[in-house]
Amino acid sequence: MTLQPSKVLGIGLVSALGTGVSATVPALYADNPRLPALPTCLKTDLHLPVFDVPGLSRQPDQPGGVSMQLLRLALDEALADARLTKAEMRRLRVGVAIGTTTACQLNNVPFYAVLRTGQRPAPEPLLDFLNGNLAELIHRELGLHGPQITVSNACASGADAIGLAHLWLHQDMCDLAIAGGTDELNKIPLDGFNSLGICSPLPCRPFDAERRGLNLGEGAGVLIMARTEVPDRPGTTFTVNGFGKTADAYHITQPSPDGTELEKAIRQALAQAGLASDDLGFINAHGTGTQANDLTEASVFARLYPDGIPYMSTKALTGHTLGAAGAIEAIFTLLMLREQRAARSHRFSTLPPDIAFAPLRENLPLKDKRFALSTSLAFGGSNTAIILGIQ
Amino acid sequence: MDEQTAQFRLDFKQKLIDWLQLEGLKPEDILDDAPLFKTGLGLDSLDAVEIVVALKREYGIPQELMENNRAIFATFATLADFVQTNKK
Amino acid sequence: MLFLNTACILEDFSDEELKAVRLANGLRRADRLTSLAAAALFRALPERLPHGFSPETGLLTISSFGPHKTVFAMLDDILDFPEDQILPTKFTHSVHNAVTSYLGTLLGLHGPAFSLTCFESPIFTLLETAWTILESGLCHQVLALAIEERGLLTAEATKTCPQRFPVEPREAVGVFLASSAPTDFRLTLDRAKQLPRHAENPFGLPDETLEAFRTRQSFTLGTTCP
């Protein structure tokens, strides 16, 4: 069923490319992007490069931890971009949908080290967890009235939050929605993904024949979304046009190799947007750099586009930002549409024999293409497709 | 088969049952020539990485010896022999 | 308005029941949280399992504390073993969406699947999201579960925040099956209707709400203020 697009009144983000949209745009198209490096923000014996947010003075001791700190940076920028006052936010019905993976578990190692001995640890980490459900925190701090939800759907969380907000707006459950995702660099996913053997000891190479896995990253992205009737603001009008959501029901860690359900999610998003596949200018793939993910996605792209389509993974620039990925990458997609230039897929050089066509090797001017697709594939086989546009 | 190997295999079967949460099985249910993956015990890729880490922990076997060495994972017996030979 | 085919809150799951559910359904590696969810499904909807749901059925889970026992099991590994000896199965189960993934795979569900988390009004949020998904037309039926497990973390939360948790949160699973097709059991969702939280009840639900679920009496569900 076709839905009216939601408008995006403001965007804000922070990632390895920098804090804020104006730092991000040139970095998206730069020739020699910043490489990942061994982490300095956490203690680890593993030799795995990661993408941290540059220049961040980390403040972990707060509800929601560094994930909330990153989210606040993105949220403040998005609200300023949307030119919304706090009074307006309280007056209107405003929903909050935030995706995350690290901020919805209490994974503080020193806290647990004491707790497991039967002693009472200092309570602050527990209090920060109990008071740190991200959507609840924002809802409380801004004094909002409207639906609120924190999505913990692994790597699709940020995209799912945008999708749910899009549905809320369509169903008139709120006038505005704060939608996004955040995740900080954290030892738990670093050790965890390493134990699964899917972290690369080198800078990641999405879709490349020599790819060896993912690099973790951190960041946050926020969109201020509104119902379609809201008057346009000066400047480019961004839209969320379609949301597709399916599950592989295949395996707890591996994506379904043939990608049938991912393809279905993409078609759902197109149907909801009232678009044909030819209307899309490019695909911003999930493209983590693992063998399984990239192969599945590329197979689906080849089926949908036998003659090819421009596509890229921006995870070579930011790493895999987990719960933030869907939101950060949705914003990258909007920016590329605004700039009318699709960014190249960095560190791709050799086409693997089992991938039909290559991602972008160079930045590509878009010939008046106003829509693009962003895909997110979560661990456990959840597929999210978001179609974004400019008016 | 010598007694040492027989005892090792029995113990190792119990370890696999514990590590992989094969709740319904007892050691005598695992045949020596049972394939580990796809058929036989029907283990999957997640079990494979779990076994590698468990072998590192339990027997000090370095990861490099197990990488690109699919043959050792063919059956219970091939895995047990590999572990018995390489354990610290 | 949400049409409910099933709405029940289930408790008191023994280890034997959980093990039996795992064995019967090939849920070999499932942790306790996932086992609770599966066992509750089998109690609530035995005739529908495992292949009685249409593949396009949506799947939602919500939890306040999530798989905290498995998270702590992973922290045990981090504290007790070298960093390259963390067991991967613990990590894969330490995320909220592990339950959703297991249940979806068991039931062959390909519809929209979301794992959600909140402390305030989990049942309201779960059912409101179910309604949102049904209204979107992405599917015509949604299986929605609220799951809360007891352990070291819930006990410590109770000791640390007695005003917020006067008693330790009850271990319980709420199983709801909602559909687009009208049923006699209808739920109106009213966010503005605020009810006091009954901390000693599962999910903090007021007695009246529990009674309405039990008797399948159509009613208006409000939020439970913290």
Q: What is the 3-state secondary structure (H, E, C) of C199-223?
A: CCCHHHCCHHHHHHHHHCCCEEEEE
pLDDT tens, residue by residue, A133-149: 999 999 999 999 999 99
Chain mean pLDDT for chain C: 96
How far is C24 from A89, CA to CA, in rounded Å? 51
- Say whether pLDDT at A341 is over 80: yes
Token digits of residue A370: 């106003």
Selected residue with higher pLDDT from A339 and A85: A339
Give pLDDT, residue C165.
96
Q: Looking at CA atoms only, how far is residue C67 from chain A in angstroms?
A: 8
Residue A15, C-beta contacts closer than 8 angstroms, at least 6 positions apart: A24, A51, A53, A217, A218, A219, A220, A221, A317, A318, A321, A324, A328
Are residues C117 and A195, on separate chains, in Cβ contact within 8 Å?
no
CB distance from B57 to chain C under 8 Å? yes
CB pair distance less than 8 Å for A116 and C152: yes
Domains located in chain A, CATH noted: 6-390 (3.40.47.10)
Q: DSSP letters of C54-77?
A: -TT-EEEEEESS-SHHHHHHHHHH
Report chain C residues whose CB lies below 8 A from the CB of A152: 66, 95-97, 115-117
Per cent of chain B over pLDDT 90 is: 82
pLDDT confidence of residue C199 = 93
Q: Is C168 helix (H, G, I), strand (E, B) or coil?
A: coil
Interface contact flag, C84 B49, Cβ < 8 Å: no
Please tell me the predicted confidence (pLDDT) of residue B68. Answer: 83
Is A174 a residue of the active site? no
* Rounded-to-integer distance, Cα A126 and Cα C28, Å: 31
| DSSP labels, A4-48 | PPEEEEEEEEEETTEESHHHHHHHHH-SSPPPPB--SSS--SS--
Looking at A104, A155, A174, A199, which residue is catalytic? A155
Give the CATH number of the domain where residue B81 resides.
1.10.1200
Asked whether residue A340 carries a pLDDT value surpassing 90, the answer given is yes
The predicted pLDDT at position C51 comes to 87
Mean pLDDT computed over C121-144: 97
- Report yes or no: A231 at the B interface, CB cutoff 8 Å: no
Q: How far is CA A266 from the centre of its chain?
A: 17
Q: What is the mean pLDDT of residues A228-249?
A: 91
Give the confidence band of A281 by pLDDT, cuts at 50, 70, 90. very high
In-domain check, residue B63? yes
Which helix or strand (DSSP H or E) is residue A301 part of? helix A291-304
DSSP state of B43: B
Q: How far apart are the first and last CA of chain B?
A: 21
A35: nearest Cα among A49, A55, A25: A49
Over residues A304-327, the pLDDT tens digits come to: 999 999 999 999 999 999 999 999
pLDDT tens track for A186-199: 999 999 999 999 99
Region B22-45: what's the mean pLDDT? 91
B76: domain range?
A: 3-23+34-86
Q: Is the pLDDT score of A233 beyond 80?
A: no
B53 at interface of C, judged by CB pairs closer than 8 A:
yes
Domains in chain C: ranges and CATH: 2-225 (3.40.47.10)
- Segment C62-71 shows an average pLDDT of 98
Provide, as residue numbers in chain B, all residues whose Cβ is less than 8 Å from the Cβ of A252.
46
User: In C11-45, which positions are buried (b, 16+ CB within 10 angstroms) versus exposed (e)?
Assistant: eebeeeebeebbeebebbbbbbbbbbbbbbbbebb
Question: How far is it, in rounded angstroms, from Cα B9 to Cα C210?
Answer: 53
CA separation for the pair A118, A205 (Å, rounded): 46
Inform me whether the pLDDT recorded for B60 exceeds 90: yes
Average pLDDT over residues A103-128: 97
Closest CA relative to residue B19, chosen from B60, B61, B48, B39: B48
Arithmetic mean of pLDDT, C12-17 = 98
Looking at residue A379, its pLDDT comes to 86
pLDDT band at B67 (very low <50, low <70, confident <90, very high): confident
Residue A381 backbone zone (phi > 0: left; psi -120 to 50: alpha; other: beta): left
Nearest CA in chain C to A243: C138
Give the separation between CA C185 and CA B25, rounded to whole angstroms: 44
> Between A and B, how many residue pairs show a Cβ–Cβ distance under 8 A?
13
At residue C128 the predicted structure's pLDDT band, cuts being 50, 70 and 90, is very high
> How much is the average pLDDT of B16-39?
93
Confidence label for A253 from pLDDT (cuts 50, 70 and 90): confident
- Predicted pLDDT of residue C70: 97
What is the tally of structural domains in chain B?
1
In the three-class reduction of DSSP (H, G, I as helix; E, B as strand; rest coil), residue C144 is classed as strand
Beta strands in C103-158 (DSSP E): 113-117, 141-148
Asked if residue B29 belongs to a domain, the reply is: no
Position B28 in a domain = no
Q: Average pLDDT over chain B, rounded to whole?
A: 93
pLDDT of the residue at C89: 94
pLDDT band at B38 (very low <50, low <70, confident <90, very high): confident
**pLDDT score, position A276:** 97
- Give buried/exposed letters for A84-99 (b at 16+ CB in 10 A, else e): beeeebeeebbbbbbb
pLDDT at C226 over 80: no
Counting Cα atoms < 13 Å in the Cβ hemisphere of A105 gives: 32
Task: Bin C7: left if φ > 0, else alpha if -120 < ψ < 50, else beta.
Answer: beta
pLDDT tens-place string over residues A65-94: 999 999 999 999 999 999 998 888 989 999
Percent of chain A at pLDDT > 90 equals 93
Predicted pLDDT of residue A44: 96
- Selecting among A139, A174, A199, A320, the annotated active-site residue is A320
Residues 6+ apart with CB under 8 A from C20: none
CA-based nearest distance B7→chain A, Å: 30
CA gap A130, C163 in Å, rounded:
13
pLDDT of residue C50: 83
pTM over 0.95: yes
Using a 10 angstrom Cβ sphere, with 0-12 exposed, 13-18 middle and 19 or more buried, the burial of residue C126 is buried
**Residue A192: both structure tokens together:** 């965890």
* Integer Cα distance of A263 and A94 in angstroms: 32
H-run or E-run covering A168: helix A157-170
Provide the pLDDT for residue A254: 86
Does C19 sit within 8 Å of B46, measured CB to CB? Answer: no
For A198-209, the pLDDT digits (tens) are 999 999 999 999
The closest CB to that of C100, out of A1, A44, A380, belongs to A380
User: Is B74 within a domain?
Assistant: yes
Assess whether pLDDT exceeds 90 at residue A1.
no
Q: Which 3 state secondary structure label does DSSP give A222?
A: strand
Q: Do B49 and A196 touch (CB under 8 A)?
A: yes
% residues pLDDT > 70 (chain A): 100
